[in-house]
Amino acid sequence: MARDEDNSADEATWRRAVGEFAAAARERFGGAVERILLYGSRARREGGAESDVDVIVFLAEGTDLVEARGVLSDLACDVAARYGFRFLIQALAFTEESFRRRASYFFIRNVNRDGVPI
């Protein structure tokens, strides 16, 4: 069996995992979660078998983003482990303001264009 067949996750599987990640983030951060976006190749439906799953969690102003990024990384790892690490969830954390301040960045323009709410 090829590596892609052994370790890849079909769309239904990775979407279920992203839903679990989003639920865990909302449980951990409560009302501080303002929105969660899927972005990148999976959002554009261009992801291959080994594509990671890219998400941004937007948190309320005043949230410690450095701490939040560590927590989100742990949550993402926990979810990926439940699915046998067939894909990785890459989670970023921003406040709306910290995201807007970077509006001229190519990456931010792509997220604004391609992002899909979770």
Reading across the β-sheet that carries 53-59, which strands appear in turn?
Answer: 89-95, 53-59, 33-39, 116-117
pTM of the predicted structure, to 2 decimals: 0.88
Alpha carbon distance 9, 53 (integer Å): 11
| Helices and strands in the chain, H and E counts | 5, 4
Report, as ranges of residue numbers, the positions in the chain whose pLDDT lies below 50: 1-7
DSSP state of 86: S
CA distance 112 to 33: 18
pLDDT (0 to 100) of residue 20:
98
* CATH class of domain segment(s) 3-117: alpha beta
Q: Tokens at residue 23, please?
A: 């639920």
Model pLDDT, residue 8? 53
